[in-house]
Amino acid sequence: MEMRRRQPIGVELVKRQIVTENDIERALEYQRQHPSKKIGDILYILDVCDPYKLIEAIGDILGTKGILLTNRNMKVRLTDYMSLDVAKKYKAIPFEVSSGKVKVCFANTVNDRSMETVRLLFLNKGLVMENYITFESDIERILKSLEGTATGNLAEAKNDTITSLVDSIIKTGIERRASDIHIEPMQDKVRVRYRIDGELFTAANIDKSKQSQLIGRLKAISNMHQEKQESQDGRILLYDDYNIRVSSQPNVYGEKFVLRLLKKNLDIRNIFDLGLPATEEELKKSINKKNSITIMAAPTGEGKTTSLYSIIDYLNRPEINITTIEDPVEIRIEGLNQIEIDTRVTFADSLRTVLRQDPDIILVGEIRDKETGEIAIQAGQTGHYVLSTIHTIDSLEVITRLRKMGLSDYDIASTLATVISQRLVRKLCPKCKRERPFDKEEIKIIQSIGKKYGIEYDLSGKTYDAVGCKYCNNTGYYDRLGIFEILNVTDEIKQEIMNGKSSIEIRQEALKQGYKPLVTDGIRKIIQGHTTLDELNRKLLIY
């Protein structure tokens, strides 16, 4: 809990004779050892006075109502009104509902934006929020006791047999659009989490006594060795529309499993539907240049492969021979020659063979080392168009990464034509997003970014808050959208690379040549109403 008053909260409490000056000294000494703790919470931990009087006084000082939250106060089931993950994020617990009003306890009533988000969540459910404050340790205790009841009825699903339990875990993940399912042995339970739109959500906690049977069933259907207590890879092919890749990894409490849900025959999304800011004419100028390489750059899990498939699909025509080298082949596309590498064959080995297959366009899943990079550049220099990916934070860092692999400035400058970098941000839920004007803080942040890159943003329109509803699992977001930056390697930039200039100097030249970084496209998508400034900041740390 925080205090935005002239007098520190400790002084106010002493004035009201709730605690003594000696109590405050003890609390300050405790705070020096635990700087994240607030004075009010520390006084509660130290048990220096009546906790009921303490929280009521703190509430009055902060201009709200204080309540000592216990299980006895809990007159509603939290998960009927919000997900456990949302409750944890905002440290908020709804504890009573009557006559169209919901009473919600917060650990901090000073964070106006968080409280407003929760208020809108309940307003969307037809409930007016009445806010209270309580001790953070009580919020944490109640939330911990509720773990495992968070989303739906997975823990209550047909778990009379291990077979039906595993089936329920996977089918529920599919229904909720999960990209990955994490099954994690812990000290006293097995936790199940789903990654949905890039975020992990706790779905259930399974009794520790079922761990060995659960692991045995997962290994059986993944075609893994039962007796091996080491990392393994497998596949589950029991679900008609899905090819599920499975990875196991021992940890201190057992074997953790991650299931990657890959939909078979997935329709390739149009590159412009993914959020690419360029026009079709601009895209044509950036890609499919013979004697060159285009690289997609982003950290792991940010949609590089999806965008790469979309570009390949855009270029795919009967008169063009396109060959891909992938690890693994995630989506099969009609008309392409797709090669899947394994532990015995590297990208470099496959690329050497592919060059003898008369390709026009070559997709290399990833440039991981100097050998693959050199062969990819050789392919680009001999009349082919090569597409690949690299794990970097932005487009310009690709040049630095290639240099660190040992590729020469001449080879990079002569072959690299385009770099497209991206991130995935969550899209506002279309069913519950709530319109409002930009506030002063948002206008200040956006205008400062615009000034930095010479862009004037029109902020006279509306923006939206992420609220939360049943459709989006009370997160306020549904699906994801790409934000992009495109670096076209012009003659001027090639000269900078050839001259061995640093990434900072190359960036300065790129900005002169019209390069616009990721954040500028992110702001554009906020103004268009696709996402929020908070979500963009979560990805790019802009403030």
CATH code: domain of residue 186: 3.30.450.90
Pairing of the two strands 462-465 and 101-106: unpaired
HSE-CB for 247 with a 13 A CA cutoff? 8
Cis peptide, bond prior to residue 328, ω within 30 of zero: yes
Residues forming beta bridges with residue 196, ordered by sequence position: 199
**Residue 535 maps to a domain:** no
- 166/142 same-domain check: no
- 121/180 same-domain check: no
Q: Are 395 and 421 in contact (CB under 8 A)?
A: yes
With helix as H, strand as E and coil as C, how does 143-200 read? HHHHCCCCCCCCCCCCCCCHHHHHHHHHHHHHHCCCCEEEEEECCCEEEEEEEECCEE
- 194/64 same-domain check: no
- 355/395 same-domain check: yes
Distance CA 67, CA 423 (A): 42
* CATH code of the domain containing 296: 3.40.50.300
- 297/338 same-domain check: yes
- 230/309 same-domain check: no
Rounded to whole angstroms, what are the CA distances from 251 to 170, 182, 187?
22, 13, 11
Our CA angle for 377, 381, 383, nearest 5°, is 125
**Residue 430 maps to a domain:** no
- 286/178 same-domain check: no
- 500/367 same-domain check: yes
- 44/184 same-domain check: no
**Contacts with 263 (C-beta within 8 Å, 6 or more apart), sequence order:** 241, 242, 243
**Residue 413 maps to a domain:** yes
Burial zone of 312 (CB within 10 Å; 0-12 exposed, 13-18 middle, 19+ buried) = buried
- 286/245 same-domain check: no
Work out how many domains the chain is built from and give that number.
3
Q: What is the pTM of this model?
A: 0.72
- 99/168 same-domain check: no
- 118/193 same-domain check: no
Distance CA 364, CA 352 (A): 12
Domain range for 502 is: 280-424+481-518
First to last CA, the chain: 23
**Residue 402 maps to a domain:** yes
Distance CA 520, CA 514 (A): 12
Query: Could you list the pLDDT tens digit for every one of the 543 residues in the chain?
Result: 444 444 688 888 999 999 999 999 999 988 888 888 888 899 988 888 888 899 999 999 988 999 988 767 788 878 778 877 788 888 999 999 888 899 999 988 777 788 888 888 888 778 899 999 999 988 888 887 665 444 444 544 444 588 889 999 999 999 889 999 999 999 999 999 999 998 888 888 899 999 999 999 999 999 999 887 889 999 998 888 888 999 999 999 999 999 999 887 667 788 888 888 888 888 888 886 788 999 999 998 898 888 988 898 888 888 989 998 888 777 778 888 988 887 677 778 888 888 888 889 999 888 989 988 998 898 888 889 999 999 999 999 999 999 999 999 999 999 999 999 999 999 999 988 888 999 898 999 999 999 999 999 999 999 998 888 778 877 889 999 999 999 999 999 999 999 999 999 999 999 999 999 999 999 999 999 999 998 999 899 887
Residues forming beta bridges with residue 319, ordered by sequence position: none
Domain boundary among 112, 146, 180: 146
**Residue 530 maps to a domain:** no
**Residue 523 maps to a domain:** no
* CATH code of the domain containing 63: 3.30.300.160
* Helix orientation angle between 39-46 and 136-146, rounded to the nearest 10 degrees: 80
Q: Quick one: how far is CA 269 from the chain centroid?
A: 20
Note the pLDDT of residue 147: 58
**Residue 77 maps to a domain:** yes
Element holding 482 (H helix, E strand): strand 477-488
Note the pLDDT of residue 269: 80
Domain boundary among 146, 173, 193: 146
**Residue 334 maps to a domain:** yes
How many residues appear in the chain?
A: 543
Rg (C-alpha) for the chain, rounded Å, is 27
